[in-house]
């Protein structure tokens, strides 16, 4: 890391590079609202193609939204990390047209494994789901720490 890069700048640069390849997040209409060291905030609107046989948002899309916030939160240290697992509790249904926001926050990040808590709430502030993600670092960084001139924050 060059001296002029703060943890916040590193997190933003990782997110920008990750976002460029994140077809899944873009395909879901996800907006990445904010990233920081060990945190991320993302928004998604429940579309007709996210509705299940009960007429409410499929839990898989709520999980995916949470998983996105988790992913950007745990990848913001310029060390690539993947989800090794997660537990989700669904607290209230999300309806077609709802705007959901997920906020992810690190609880513990060791040299290899991390634990992150993610909350998903709707436009009225109602809690929709609580997600606890387990991350595992893999080999690789997002950018070369010695040549950071091209960093483009999201």
Candidate segments 5-13, 76-84, 97-105, 145-153, binder of its own copies by CB under 8 A: 76-84
Choose which of 71, 78, 79, 121 interacts with its own copies (CB under 8 A). 71
**What's the closest the beta carbon of residue 108 comes to its own copies, in angstroms?**
5
Choose which of 127, 141, 150, 152 interacts with its own copies (CB under 8 A). 127
Task: State how far the Cα of 83 lies from the Cα of 70, in Å rounded to an integer.
Answer: 8
Give the residue from 74, 131, 134 showing the smallest Cα distance to 101.
Answer: 131
Please say which residue, 2 or 107, places its beta carbon nearer to its own copies: 107
Contact between 90 and its own copies per CB under 8 A: yes
**What's the closest the beta carbon of residue 34 comes to its own copies, in angstroms?**
17
**What's the closest the beta carbon of residue 5 comes to its own copies, in angstroms?**
20
Binding to its own copies, residues 6-65 (CB under 8 A): 17-25, 27, 48-55, 58-61, 63-65
Choose which of 5, 31, 115, 148 interacts with its own copies (CB under 8 A). 115
Contact between 124 and its own copies per CB under 8 A: no
- How would you write the chain as a 3-class SS string? CCCCCCHHHHHHHHHHHHHHCCHHHHHCCCEEEEEECCEEEEEEECCHHHECCCCCECHHHHHHHHHHHHHHHHCCCCCCEEEEEEEEEECCCCCCCCEEEEEEEEEEECCCEEEEEEEEECCCCCEEEEEEEEEEECCCCCCCCCCCCCCCCC
Q: For residue 80, what are the CA distances in angstroms to 35, 59, 112, 142? A: 15, 27, 10, 7
Residues that bind its own copies (CB under 8 A): 17-25, 27, 48-55, 58-61, 63-65, 67-68, 71, 75, 80, 82-91, 93, 107-108, 110, 113, 115, 127, 130, 132, 134, 136
């Amino acid at each position: 890391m060059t001296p002029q890069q703060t943890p916040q700048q590193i997190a933003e640069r990782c997110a920008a590079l990750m976002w460029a390849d994140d077809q899944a997040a873009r395909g879901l209409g996800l907006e990445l609202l904010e990233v920081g060291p060990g945190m991320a905030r993302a928004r998604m609107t429940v579309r007709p193609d996210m509705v299940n046989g009960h007429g409410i948002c499929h839990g898989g899309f709520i999980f995916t939204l949470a998983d996105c916030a988790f992913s950007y939160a745990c990848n913001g240290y310029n060390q690539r990390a993947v989800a090794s697992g997660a537990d989700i509790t669904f607290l209230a249904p999300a309806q077609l047209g709802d705007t959901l926001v997920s906020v992810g926050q690190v609880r513990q990040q060791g040299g290899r494994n991390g634990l992150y808590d993610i909350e998903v709430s709707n436009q009225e502030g109602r809690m929709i789901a609580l997600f606890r993600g387990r991350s595992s670092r893999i080999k690789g960084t997002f950018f070369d720490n010695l040549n950071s001139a091209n960093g483009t924050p999201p």
